[in-house]
Structure 1
């Protein structure tokens, strides 16, 4: 059964390679991509259930035992994220079938998506911090392709900034890994945890942990390192933005969470306190951007930044409720951000613009789309009974338990401002009388509604089915709070 762990990596790898040879045949590309993504969902479901029943699963490549060989580790935290990634990939492909033009499809869009999923899934499953870098690079190289597809001037300008930031970040990642290896003599995450616990988290190791925080903060858009994200994510088509917003920043969040709960958890009064305040400023600047802009995509993009802060505050508070809330909210945010970017893409397809000042009265001609956006807005803001409520409630509760009253109130206040930012789209874009200039730009959202329905159904089910989902989230939280569970599973101690 352990061999299944490699399949979420192997399936997109081989699918991506095969798709390269069919770049001119769009129909075959679509079918192969959809089949590969459905297979990924099924395998991920099996892995989640296996981990739930039998505990953490590990796979040692070439039968080299940890910490000497390459090890893939599926605990409940990484397994849930791989499953969510597979669902986002499948719905993104469905959305792309109706929204991406043929010229983009021919220029390796579908192989690019598969290699992106390979990088994301590999980052979640690897048990080695150097291989985390490797999968980061696979993910980033795929994103470089996807961000420039279409070659508009705006895309090319923003892609230069995006690539430059990530090249610098990757260089710093390698340097930090080298420093860590020089000090500890190992790169296996479980072994690193043991070695650092034995030698004590010295000042040098704390500095290395801060370097990792900078690297992952750049990837995950943590304050003040989020400056590159709003422009870069606005440039590509909505389906690419959905993939980026739902997945790429979440790999950065996952990496911060894994490193600061498994490896560098011995000096929380400094490292976790710093992370808590960086998370607070991330929330503040995220909501400021979300309420300031009148561009549909920009509003949703700034809400990505807000969510990064909320999730990482849960990690920084480091109480059982806060960490559990962080896991709940991370899965929720991946689903709801995908849905919101699809909704934004449908609005742009219908009206030909993302400028809210030029849109009005859409609910008259597209009532189903309008009420789906309303549900998504409530879910994003954490209004019960939707999926965002439980996670945010537990994060706030955990923040109070940790004595972080100020930041907990910031999280609470951010819910109102997030709701205001997305309801601004609903009130101005869907309500009121249709603008005369919209009559000449009647586009179609045909085929775009199915993936939105799938994700919104999941977000409603995730909120209403908390009792059923709770054992899985609790199991993921237990591993994050107690590193010995992960260590014993990997090192067989």
Structure 2
């Protein structure tokens, strides 16, 4: 039975990477055929989602880890793609949000009268982004992980500057410079690791890195952490994010906020557990986690724009994930994995809702909004549910994820862990305060009288106002159903994570156990996907 599962996995494993790249080529060739581009993009990402679900079910029901060597090369010579519970769970969540965001963006493009939705280059670029994310999650080779990062980053440079406005070009320039710096650091780390060990295969590195000088190993570890920390936007390497993401189109901001930083978090989880288990850097990571949470949420509280506020909460909640990683225990890693899956969905949803708010009212500035709960009750519901989830209100998955992390911190019982637990509680309360501020000012209270009157006149006349209540752009109060539906689906997925929290925590527990054990992963890769015979003894 396990052999049959292995055969299925070997067939399906390249699909999440190869299919989007193939579809990107087709959509680029069909740049003048907008309808064909839409059909190809939606079909390709739908297949990727189905394959991701199948891979998760197969890995969780089977032995947990399967691999193939791309091109049929012998083990350690080829590039391994590895499916385990962690990578396939991340693949399912990422495929879900990328498909939902694509559908949202297509409806937005059609509503705006842009048949390319929004331009013809959007589809191939978006598909390349999806392939890069999948490659990063499935890679069993450190250099191929770097390639995955570069593929998704190259696509993100284009998506971030779509429209070519001054603000987007300026934000894109900052984003490109920071990304190039992190990539340079990552590439330097890879070169030094190869010089020290003679390999970039992560299974082989898990053995060879234990054989080199401890000081050299620590230096290599810290270099990787800096590179991944910039990509994951951990403090003090996070200042670029709140200035870069809010300027992009709503769908782009949503997929960036939901996914790109989590790829950095995934890389930290994978290298921390596989290459540097029990590292002294865990203590440093705990303080980094605390500072990321606190600085991020203080920035959020100070904001008067929904996009920027959510960008700062994104930074803050990366701290929760790093907290679980830094604990280094099975419970901590399980809580971090669960929280990553939860946060990808919720953060993407909130940015899509913010795009609907901007479309409805012409702005996301809190002093230009008001009474949305009365004027757009469906929009209010779509915001309220994921917002409460982000704030960690029971019984939502945000509460369950934080509870798992807090329990793991208490179980560890060290002074630093207790400080992190206390900080996590305070940050959660401040998150609720920030969300309540948005709800009160944008959805509940009435806008100032002059702004309300201007909004009413603009609505009656079918034109935009010139003052504070409405931005100087067309405001479509008839929000297209094609934009609302994907958002509502993601809201439902967020609620669904709460409903299936027990089984999902079961998967994250088993994934965490595999990460700590390491032997199944290492042996499977070294045996070329067979995993039945130990090629090397794994030092734990």
Q: SS of 1:73's equivalent? A: strand
Change in CA separation of 1:454 and 1:201 when aligned onto 2, cut-off 3 Å: farther
Bigger shift: residues 465-474 or 38-47: 465-474
Pairs within 5 Å for 1:344-363: 344-363=354-373
Equivalence for 2:531: none
* CA distance, structure 1, for counterparts of residue 73 and residue 230 of structure 2: 33
Q: SS of 1:74's equivalent? A: strand
Pairs within 5 Å for 1:88-487: 88-100=97-109, 101=112, 102=114, 105-197=118-210, 199=211, 202-267=214-279, 270-402=280-412, 403=414, 404-434=417-447, 435-439=452-456, 440=458, 441=464, 442-443=475-476, 444-446=478-480, 447-487=482-522
Asked which structure has the greater CA Rg, the reply is: 2
Number of residue pairs aligned between Structure 1 and Structure 2: 490
Bigger shift: residues 244-253 or 19-28: 19-28
**Are the equivalent residues in 2 in contact too, given 1:104–1:150 (CA < 8 A)?**
no
Bigger shift: residues 184-193 or 54-63: 54-63
**Are the equivalent residues in 1 in contact too, given 2:132–2:149 (CA < 8 A)?**
yes
Bigger shift: residues 321-330 or 467-476: 467-476
**Are the equivalent residues in 2 in contact too, given 1:58–1:74 (CA < 8 A)?**
yes
* CA distance, structure 1, for counterparts of residue 82 and residue 245 of structure 2: 31
CA positional deviation for 1:65: 2.9
* CA distance, structure 1, for counterparts of residue 203 and residue 139 of structure 2: 11
**Are the equivalent residues in 1 in contact too, given 2:331–2:509 (CA < 8 A)?**
no
**Are the equivalent residues in 1 in contact too, given 2:307–2:354 (CA < 8 A)?**
yes
Bigger shift: residues 369-378 or 121-130: 369-378
Which of these residues, 14, 18, 24, is aligned with residue 16 of structure 1? 24
Q: SS of 1:58's equivalent? A: strand
Bigger shift: residues 77-86 or 399-408: 399-408
Bigger shift: residues 343-352 or 319-328: 319-328
* CA distance, structure 2, for counterparts of residue 168 and residue 200 of structure 1: 27
* Structure 2: gaps (5+ residues): 1-7, 459-463, 465-474, 528-533, 535-540
| Matching of residue 5 in structure 1 with residue 13 in structure 2 | yes
**Are the equivalent residues in 2 in contact too, given 1:115–1:142 (CA < 8 A)?**
yes
Q: SS of 1:71's equivalent? A: strand
* CA distance, structure 2, for counterparts of residue 422 and residue 84 of structure 1: 24
Equivalence for 1:58: 67
Q: SS of 2:321's equivalent? A: helix
* CA distance, structure 2, for counterparts of residue 418 and residue 464 of structure 1: 23
CA positional deviation for 1:63: 2.4
* CA distance, structure 1, for counterparts of residue 436 and residue 19 of structure 2: 39
CA positional deviation for 1:279: 1.1
* CA distance, structure 1, for counterparts of residue 509 and residue 92 of structure 2: 17
Q: SS of 2:235's equivalent? A: coil
CA positional deviation for 1:430: 0.9
Q: SS of 1:448's equivalent? A: helix
CA positional deviation for 1:201: 5.8
* CA distance, structure 2, for counterparts of residue 432 and residue 62 of structure 1: 61
* CA distance, structure 2, for counterparts of residue 392 and residue 50 of structure 1: 28
Pairs within 5 Å for 1:60-79: 60-79=69-88
Deviations 1:42-97 (A, max 9, x none): 11111001101222111112222332221000110000101111101110011102
* CA distance, structure 2, for counterparts of residue 395 and residue 238 of structure 1: 31
Q: SS of 2:68's equivalent? A: strand
* CA distance, structure 1, for counterparts of residue 222 and residue 454 of structure 2: 52
C-alpha RMSD over aligned residues: 1.4
CA positional deviation for 1:158: 1.0
CA positional deviation for 1:104: 6.0
Bigger shift: residues 140-149 or 363-372: 363-372
**Are the equivalent residues in 1 in contact too, given 2:34–2:120 (CA < 8 A)?**
no
Bigger shift: residues 386-395 or 137-146: 386-395
* CA distance, structure 2, for counterparts of residue 195 and residue 60 of structure 1: 20
**Are the equivalent residues in 1 in contact too, given 2:108–2:117 (CA < 8 A)?**
no
Give every structure 1 segment of 4 or more consecutive aligned residues whose post-TM-superposition deviation is greater than 3 Å: none
Equivalence for 2:95: 86
Q: SS of 2:14's equivalent? A: helix
Structure with bigger helix share is 1
* CA distance, structure 2, for counterparts of residue 388 and residue 10 of structure 1: 33
Q: SS of 1:60's equivalent? A: strand
Bigger shift: residues 202-211 or 103-112: 103-112
Calculate the TM-score normalised by the size of structure 1.
Answer: 0.97
Equivalence for 2:468: none
Calculate the TM-score normalised by the size of structure 2.
Answer: 0.89
CA positional deviation for 1:200: 5.4
**Are the equivalent residues in 2 in contact too, given 1:280–1:309 (CA < 8 A)?**
yes
**Are the equivalent residues in 2 in contact too, given 1:221–1:249 (CA < 8 A)?**
yes
Equivalence for 2:526: 491
* CA distance, structure 2, for counterparts of residue 240 and residue 218 of structure 1: 19
Q: SS of 1:33's equivalent? A: helix
**Are the equivalent residues in 1 in contact too, given 2:282–2:326 (CA < 8 A)?**
yes
